Homo-oligomer: A and B are copies of this chain.
Amino acid sequence: MATILSVSGSPSDPSRTARLLRHLDTRLAERGHQVVPLDVRALPAPALLGADFGHPEIVRAREAFERADAVVVGTPVYKAAYSGVLKSLLDLLPQSVLAGKTVLPLATGGSAAHTLAVDYALRPVLSSMGADHIVQGAFVLDRHITVRDDGSVFLGEAADGLYRVLDAFAEAVAQAEAAKVSATI
């Protein structure tokens, strides 16, 4: 069993991106992983924007990254890239905090024209943080994410592709765990 940190980088509340991530968390938990949700929006804004590395909630967020075996990073696409909110948290983490970890990059947006933001904007940042294995990510159109009255999510035609990406991530996480175990025997 691996510990997976699932980070939503949306500044909105309620947020389609956050709903999507919490929906995917359930599927990862069903595969036996322990999922830890983190909404960057819930962290104290002055600490995030003022580079306050020592604030207790920032320290807790950093420790959640350090303890995780794997990380899901989800963001809306604004201005052809990840959100400033998400990047504000990443800026406060140690340079190589993703070393030894498996990472899944996800983005949501209003137009297919923003698809490449995953690979040209988000992935290079995650790579610079030392990520061992950034699996194939996904871009999900806003209109494919239906939030029902009870808060649950219906993915429609985006479901198949997204679940395939999620399952490949879960598989990579499991392989990395198996390799760690065999290395310590």
Pick from B90, B175, B178: contact of A84, CB under 8 Å: B90
Task: Report whether over half of chain A's contact residues are helix, strand or loop; otherwise say mixed.
Answer: helix
Complex Cα distance, B178 from A131, in Å, reads 21
B-contact 0/1 string along A64-98, CB 8 Å cutoff: 00000000000000111111111111110001000
Which of A26-34, A43-51, A153-161 lies on the face that meets chain B? A43-51
Pick from B90, B116, B135: contact of A133, CB under 8 Å: B135
Interface flag for A123 (CB, 8 Å): yes
Number of identical monomers bound together in the oligomeric complex: 4
Complex Cα distance, B81 from A82, in Å, reads 11
Complex Cα distance, B52 from A85, in Å, reads 13
A-B contact pairs, 16 of them (CB 8 A): A11-B91, A40-B49, A41-B49, A45-B50, A48-B84, A78-B90, A81-B87, A81-B121, A81-B128, A83-B87, A84-B86, A111-B112, A115-B116, A119-B127, A132-B172, A133-B172
